[in-house]
Structure 1
Amino acid sequence: MLALSRKKNESIIINNNVELTVLEVKGDQIRLGITAPKEIPIYRKEIYIQIQNENKEATDVTEIEALKKLL
């Protein structure tokens, strides 16, 4: 993991086309602005994990149903 220090209105660039900007620091919360191409999906980590889990469950059910049909 790379750890960087940034102040308000300072940015970092990722892969030449994603920019993260610190918009506000208030107590233990930080507001980030993200500028990226529309084809790059951006999720909060907890939402990303939820999507991955739901996709896995959907795949598991689909495989079971497909196997039942074969029998």
Structure 2
Amino acid sequence: MLVLSRKIDEAIVIGENITIKVISVEKGVVKLGIDAPKNLSIVRSELLEDVKDSNIAASKEINLLDITSLSAILKK
């Protein structure tokens, strides 16, 4: 992992088309501006964890179905 220090209005460039700029720092909260192509997905890591946890929970619910119930559902 590369660790860099930046001040307000300073930026980091990733590749040719992604720029991350420090917008403000207030009470321990850093606000970042990200300039990237629209086709690039940018998601907060905690949201990815929530989706992962939801998928795991959903897969456990599916495992609770017995094969008979599944067969009945598929016939409909």
Give the superposition deviation at 1:18. 1.1
Considering only CA atoms, is the larger Rg found in Structure 1 or Structure 2?
2
- Identity percentage of aligned residues: 35
Which residue matches 1:19? Answer: 19
Unaligned residue ranges in structure 2 (runs of 5+): 72-76
How many angstroms apart in 2 are the aligned matches of 1:59 and 1:19?
38
Unaligned residue ranges in structure 1 (runs of 5+): none
Residue 6 (1) aligns with residue 6 (2): yes
Give the superposition deviation at 1:57. 4.8
How many angstroms apart in 1 are the aligned matches of 2:14 and 2:61?
37
Which letter maps to 2:23? Answer: L
Normalised TM-score (structure 2):
0.69
Q: Which deviations, in whole Å up to 9, do the C-alpha atoms of 1:40-67 show, x marking residues without a partner?
A: 11111100211233345556667x5xxx
**Number of equivalent positions:** 69
Q: How big is the alpha-carbon RMSD for the aligned residues of Structure 1 and Structure 2?
A: 2.2
How many angstroms apart in 1 are the aligned matches of 2:61 and 2:40?
28
How many angstroms apart in 1 are the aligned matches of 2:60 and 2:37?
32
Which residue matches 2:49? Answer: 49
How many angstroms apart in 2 are the aligned matches of 1:39 and 1:61?
34
